[in-house]
Structure 1
C-alpha cells in the first residue's frame, strides 16, 4: 500500500512538473527573474565602485570623511599676513621693520592656499579624473554585450533559447563571485566585462522565448511589460541595496547575496526549462535583412537614445553629488530610487497601454519627456531637487522600452519571418549602445564641457530623434513590401523600354 501511495504521489508530482514546463506564465517568471538579477548586479555596483576605487587610491582619506569635512566646516577668515607673521615670531620683530621685509612676507602668504581649500581642490580634481575610470568600467559590460549579441541571436536559431539562457546564468554567477572578492580595478573591470556575455545570453534568449510563447501582439506586449518590470525591479533595488550593504556590512556582502539568488534561478531553469537543443522549423530572417530594415533600425534607435541619458548619469551623478552636495554613500544609491520606481510603473503601464494608443506615440512622448528631465537635473542644488526629474526620467524610459521591445517582434511578424532571436539581438544591441556610449563618453564630456552641458547635449539629441518615430505609425507589411518592390521594378522596366523606343 505504501509503495502504491508513493507511486501515485510521484505520478502527481511528475504531472505537476510537466504542466509547469508547458506553462507560458512560468517561462515569463523565469525570464523576469533572470532580468531582475542581471540588472540588480548591473546597478548594485553604482554606489559601491566610485567610493571603493577612491579608497584604493587614497587609503588615508575616504570620500565619506572628506565630504563631511567639506560640508560641515566653515573656513576661518584669512588673517592679516603681517599680523600673523608678527604673532608667529613672538614679537621678536620690531615695529620699525623695513617695508621690504613686509613685502616679502606678503608675497609668501598670498601664494599659500588655505589647507582646506587646497584639499577640496585636489579632491575635486581626483573625482573628475575618477569619472573617466568609473565610466570605462561601467561601459565595458555594454561593449562586451554589444559584441556578443550578433553571435547569440543566430545561435538561438540553431539550438533554441533554453541552453543560451542557462549559459547566461552560469556566466553571471561567475561574474558575481569575482565582484565579491575582487580588490583591484583590473579584476573588477574583468568581472564587469564578463557580465556582458551573460547578459547577452539571458536577455536575447529571454525576449526571444517570450515572443515565441506569446504570438498574439497584445499578449506579447503585456508579457514583455511584465518581464521589463523584472528588469525595472532590479534597477530599483540595486543602487539602494548596494549602498546600504556596503555602508553597514561590507563590499562583498551584496554580491554574495546576489550569487545565492542567481544559484536559485539556475536550479529553477534546470528543473523547469530542461535546457536542450531545439531547432527552429521555419527559416529565420538573416541578420543582414533585419539590420537593413529601416523600421527596425528606427525602433532600435529609440531604445538607444532613451537609455543613453541614464547611462551617462550612472557614473557621473554620484560623483557630481559628492563634489557639489557632499553626498554620503547611501544618498548616492538612493538618488536613483525615484527613477527605478517610476520605470517599474512605466513598463507595466505602457505594456498594454502602448498597444492601445500606438507604440510609436508612446515612444515619441517618452523621448520628449526624457529630454526635459535631463535638462532639469543639473539645476538641482540638493538631493530633494533630484526626485522629480529622476522620477520623470525613469517613467519616460519605461514608456520607450515597453513600447519598442514588442514593436520589434511585431515588425518581424509583419515584414519578415516569425523567428525572434536575431531581432532581439538587435534590440539588445540598441540597449547596450546606450549603456556603452553613455558611460564611456561621460567622463570625457564632464572634463571637457562639464556635467551640465553633457546632459543638455543628450537632451537635444532626444528631441531631434523623436519625430522619426512617426514612421512606425503604419509600417508596410511583407506583402506591401513585395508589392512596392514589384512596382519599382515595373516602373524601372517601363522607363528602360521607353528610353529604348525613343532612341529607335
Structure 2
C-alpha cells in the first residue's frame, strides 16, 4: 500500500472501514434475516467474501494513487458486508438447529476460529514468500468459494414469520446493555493486540520476525481449547454464566496489567511471562465471550421476544455489531496510546476498560439478585391471600 502512495493514516482507515461496515451489515442483516432467508444469506455472504478476497489479491496490479486506494476501500467494505451476512446467518442457523446447546455449539466452533488464528499467519507467510502477494488471497478466497456447494447441500431451510420486536427494544434491556459493554471491551482487547503486540515483541525482545507469530500461539490455542468447555458448562449450568462474564473480564483486566507489565508493579518484562499472560488471557476470553450469546437470548425470551428465527437474527446481529465496535475502537485507540504513552501503559488502560465492564456487570447481577429476593415474599403473601378469599366458596 505504501508503494502505491497510501499514507499510514489511509492504510489505517482502509482496515478500519472493515469493522465499520461489518457493524452496519450485522445490524441490517440481523433485522431482516427472516425476510431474506438464513440459508440464502449465509451462502450469499460466503460468495461475496470469497470473491472479494480473490480480488484483494490482484489489487497490486492497479495504478498507484486514488484508483488503488478507492478499490482497497471498496473491496474491504464488500468483504465486511459478506462476512457480516455469513456470520449473522450461521449463528442463527446453529442456535435454531441446537436450541438446548447453543453455548456448547458456539464454543465448539471457536476451536476452528482458534485453528484459523494459528494456521493463518504461518500458512499465509509461506505462500507469500514462495509465490508472492497474490497467491495467499486467491488460495483463501477459492477455499471459501468451494465451501458454497457443500453448504447448499447440507444446510436446512428454516422458515419463520417476521417478529414484532426491534434492535432498539433489545438494546434497551438493562442486562443486554451491560453484556454489550462486556462484548465491546473484549473485542477491543483482541483488536488492541493485533497491530501492537508484534511491534512490542520485536522491539523489546529482539526476536526474529518469524518467531513473533509463535508468541500469539499461546493466546489462540488456549482460547480454542477452553471455549468448548465453557460452552458446555454454560448450557449444563446456566447459573454459572454470570460468574463467567464477571470473572472472565476481571482476569482479562489483570492480564493486560501484566502484559507490559505496567511500570507501577515494578515487574521486569520477560518473554516467558508475556507468553504465560497470553495463555491465561485466552482462557479468560473464552470464559467471557462464550456465555454472552445464550445470556442475551434468554434475557430476550424472558422479556417477551418470541422464540424463533426472528429473535435469533436480532441477537446474532446485535452480537456481531457490538463485536465490530470493539474491533474498530481497539486498534484505533491502541495505536494512538502506543505512540503517546508506550505499550506498558497503553495495555493497562485497555485493561481498565475490561475491569470497569466486569465490575459493572457484577453490580448489575447483585442488584438483580436483591430485587428477586425482595419480590419472593410478596408473591407468597399474595398467594395466601387469594387462597383465603376463595376457601369459603370452595367449601
TM-score, normalised via structure 2 length? 0.80
User: How far has the Cα of 1:448 moved from its partner?
Assistant: 2.3
Q: Which residue in 2 is equivalent to 1:206?
A: 90
User: How far has the Cα of 1:137 moved from its partner?
Assistant: 3.6
Q: Which residue in 1 is equivalent to 2:246?
A: 364
Q: 1:382 to 1:174 in 2, by over 3 A?
A: farther
Q: Which residue in 1 is equivalent to 2:123?
A: 241
Q: 1:338 to 1:245 in 2, by over 3 A?
A: farther
Q: Which residue in 2 is equivalent to 1:417?
A: 306
Decide which of 159, 179, 183 is 2:56's aligned counterpart: 179
Decide which of 18, 21, 27 is 1:150's aligned counterpart: 27
Q: Which residue in 2 is equivalent to 1:344?
A: 224
User: How far has the Cα of 1:243 moved from its partner?
Assistant: 3.1
Higher relative contact order (CA 8 A, sep 6+): 2
Alignment of 1:111-122 (within 5 A): none
Q: 1:392 to 1:248 in 2, by over 3 A?
A: farther
User: Is 1:461 equivalent to 2:350 in the alignment?
Assistant: no
| 1:461-496: CA deviation from partner (whole Å, max 9, x where unpaired) | 2112112323358969xxx9xx9xxx9xxxxxxxxx
SS in 2 for 1:358: helix
Q: Which residue in 1 is equivalent to 2:332?
A: 440
8 A contact 1:325–1:381 mirrored in 2:
no
Decide which of 282, 287, 291 is 2:167's aligned counterpart: 287
User: How far has the Cα of 1:246 moved from its partner?
Assistant: 2.8
8 A contact 2:34–2:313 mirrored in 1:
yes
8 A contact 1:358–1:473 mirrored in 2:
no
User: How far has the Cα of 1:156 moved from its partner?
Assistant: 0.5
8 A contact 1:247–1:329 mirrored in 2:
no
Q: Which residue in 1 is equivalent to 2:343?
A: 451
Q: Which residue in 1 is equivalent to 2:382?
A: none
Q: 1:269 to 1:142 in 2, by over 3 A?
A: same
8 A contact 2:57–2:133 mirrored in 1:
yes
User: How far has the Cα of 1:298 moved from its partner?
Assistant: 1.4
Distance in 1 (alpha carbons) for counterparts of 2:29 and 2:348? 35
TM-score, normalised via structure 1 length? 0.64
Q: Which residue in 1 is equivalent to 2:182?
A: 302
Decide which of 44, 59, 64 is 1:167's aligned counterpart: 44
8 A contact 2:34–2:161 mirrored in 1:
no
- Select between 417-426 and 321-330 the one with higher mean Cα deviation: 321-330
Q: 1:162 to 1:222 in 2, by over 3 A?
A: same
Distance in 1 (alpha carbons) for counterparts of 2:113 and 2:301? 25
